[in-house]
A and B are shown apart, each in its own frame.
Chain A
Amino acid sequence: MPSDLPQNDPWRGLRRSTPARIGLGRAGDALPLEAVLDFQLAHARARDAVHTPLDLAALADGLEGLDHVSVRSQAADRGTYLRRPDLGRRLDPACAVDLPAGGWDAVFVLADGLSAKAVQLHAVPLLRSVLVKLPGWRIAPVVLASQARVALGDDIGGALGATLCAMLIGERPGLSVADSLGVYLTYGPRTGRRDSERNCISNIHPSGGLTYEMAATKLAWLMTEARQRRLTGVDLKDDAAILPAAAEPKAIEG
């Protein structure tokens, strides 16, 4: 509607009920320029989130006091990563030597996925929130993974001999949120695990998504249950109704 009549804008109340771009008005058949530019900025931010490389040094600074190693998948660059999800799921063999095999209860992998920005902003605070809820756990050095899909955690967890792998990974950016973090938990990580053998906590971000504290509570509960019951996946999810409600997980990325 004409923007010079804000007091008469019937969409004002309705906009509170949906994040959808309703009541944008028209320039003839077309969108008003302001709406076009808003959209272009949102798309640009989403694309930047997909294509900006993970800043490993900055991430490592945030991990002060925690052992960590960096690895990469077999996808050599972003173009290959986007075209070949199979390569993003496999560890570059040259990196395996940096993963110390041991009797770890769990490994946390911070992975770029489709939004390095999400990992850059939210992975370390979430990790620190969950670590304090896991006293007595033998936690492997934190693994920072580039050009990574979810299943790369299977190769990493397998090399470390970890009982559980928690993959904190950037989700596919939307126009409204470009920095949403997801967590995928896998019991007995090893190459070839199916997606139905994982549990997912999705939609962790500050723009109306799960808070770090909520996500950490949920993850610590899942990790504790998974260790006791020696499984993750659909069978574990059945008991998760006691957890705070979250948005439905999106399709697993990769």
Chain B
Amino acid sequence: MATETVSMNRPKRGLWDGGQSPMNASYGKLMMWFFLLSDAFTFSALLVAYGMIRYSNLANETAVGGLGTYVPSQEAWPVPDMVFNAVPFLHGVHLPLVFVGIMTFILIMSSVTMVLAVEAGHRMDRRAVQKYLLWTIIGGITFLGCQAWEWSHFIAGSDTGISLADGTKFYGANLHVNEYGPQLFADLFFFITGFHGTHVLSGVVLLILIFFNTAVGTYDRRGHYEMVEKIGLYWHFVDLVWVFVFTFFYLI
């Protein structure tokens, strides 16, 4: 009988019956996760479209197995190694994947400094948060600079170029003409890396905002650094997308 009285005073409450957060996460953090999920759908739509269009075109097999020289063709999908093989200051040297490798390294390192900033935020260590946020911002800006170089190189084109129907020479690529292969290859390059670059850019803007807020002590007054955590989630997502872009656009 005594046990019954106790249960009468404290009714049994399920996890989802209210009065507590069942997912043990704040509203803002939860919404950041669902925003990232929706963003993942957008990026996968772009990448899957790339896959589909690539499969609906013939593969360029002029240099299969290291035999023969690679010849770009307007009908066959280009081999990424042969298109993205340039590194700044090394003109004319064939270095496939080296520059994107450097970009990948920069973005992974900026992700590491971002986790370190979040970790410092948990400890309410404002100086450490500032330091690591600054490193993350530098990493993000460096990545954007690399991407700008990659774009301008892609647009300027190779030394050989292609001959157009009217007899003129064309170098590089834009949304209408493309020396590397089928037109959609250039269009998808601009859209996918451009959409990712836009995310990096907005990430850098958000990082600068929270750096400013950290510096003026907003989060110390608030009592927690959760905003750093939320922007951190976004920043890691940008890194995650790059991992997929790197594989599907440059490796395969």
A binds B: no
Give residues in B with beta carbon < 8 Å to A. Answer: none
Q: Report A's interface with B, CB cutoff 8 A.
A: none
